[in-house]
A and B are shown apart, each in its own frame.
Chain A
Amino acid sequence: GESVGLHLPTLSVQEGDNSIINCAYSNSASDYFIWYKQESGKGPQFIIDIRSNMDKRQGQRVTVLLNKTVKHLSLQIAATQPGDSAVYFCAEWESGTGNQFYFGTGTSLTVIP
């Protein structure tokens, strides 16, 4: 199967700063991507998604950027808050090759008050 990797396992940011979490994927045929947030003791929570026919999508305080040329995905969190502290996963959807998501190992975001 294809692998989805994260560039940094941990990230610490000051409260109020912007956070950028990166993700690399290897299958150029992947056409759907999701970012999930997982807080301690909870299951992953959907944050934002993007399809391969887009290169940017914005939500509330979050933006996902997709660069298909280098197979790179990023999640930007504006004005990071203590409640944003969690592990963030990117997930890659491979339709036609088993119809399953492949998840990265996650980036742990710590927001420093």
Chain B
Amino acid sequence: KAGVTQTPRYLIKTRGQQVTLSCSPISGHRSVSWYQQTPGQGLQFLFEYFSETQRNKGNFPGRFSGRQFSNSRSEMNVSTLELGDSALYLCASTRTGSEKLFFGSGTQLSVL
């Protein structure tokens, strides 16, 4: 069974631009969560989607948004990029009835 797939692997953007990241969960997993990882900050929860509905949200500004499609694939969007948004963005999927997160390899976003 294929793991969590995130695209693209790397992105370079400039301040003020927007970006969309994609995540395909493990087949059969309906929950998708997004995390931001920066040096020294660990992983910070962005949001979680289940059956196309945002079920939970972390403490990030409204510039960070996401959505989930009927096939459980998810996208997250960051608008009006700031230098501080440079980070590794990780997507994780979860099997229904379990809390265990399975992570993808992430998208490394650099904002210049």
Q: Identify the A interface with B (CB < 8 A).
A: 1, 32, 34, 36, 41-46, 49, 89, 91, 93, 95, 98-106
Q: What are 24 of the A-B contact pairs (CB < 8 Å)?
A: A34-B100, A34-B101, A36-B103, A41-B105, A42-B105, A43-B4, A43-B6, A43-B92, A43-B104, A44-B43, A44-B101, A46-B100, A46-B101, A89-B42, A91-B43, A93-B99, A98-B56, A99-B56, A100-B33, A100-B45, A100-B58, A101-B101, A105-B41, A106-B42
Tell me if B63 counts as interface (CB < 8 A to partner A). no
A4: nearest residue on chain B (CB-CB)?
B42
Tell me if B32 counts as interface (CB < 8 A to partner A). no
Q: Is the CB of B58 within 8 A of A45?
A: no
Q: Is the CB of B100 within 8 A of A49?
A: yes
Q: How many residues of B contact A (CB 8 A)?
A: 25
Across the A-B interface, the 5 shortest Cβ-Cβ residue pairs: A43-B103, A105-B42, A103-B43, A100-B45, A103-B42
List residues of B (51-108) whose CB comes within 8 Å of A's CBs: 55-56, 58-59, 90, 92, 99-106
Which A residues touch B48, using CB under 8 A? 99-100
A-B CB contacts (within 8 Å), total count: 53
Which B residues touch A100, using CB under 8 A? 33, 45, 48, 56, 58
Determine which of B40, B45, B102, B105 lies in contact with A101 in the assembled complex, contact meaning CB atoms within 8 Å: B45
Which A residues touch B92, using CB under 8 A? 43
Which B residues touch A45, using CB under 8 A? 103
Which B residues touch A101, using CB under 8 A? 43, 45, 99, 101
Measured CB to CB, the closest approach of chain A to B23, in angstroms, equals: 11
Determine which of A43, A49, A93 lies in contact with B106 in the assembled complex, contact meaning CB atoms within 8 Å: A43
In the complex, A1→B48 CA distance in Å? 16
Q: Is the CB of A43 within 8 A of B105?
A: yes
Measured CB to CB, the closest approach of chain A to B91, in angstroms, equals: 8
Q: Told that A43-B103, A46-B102, A49-B100 touch, could you supply 17 new A-B pairs with CB distance under 8 A?
A: A34-B101, A43-B4, A43-B90, A43-B104, A44-B101, A44-B103, A89-B42, A89-B43, A91-B43, A93-B99, A99-B48, A99-B55, A100-B45, A100-B48, A101-B101, A105-B40, A105-B41
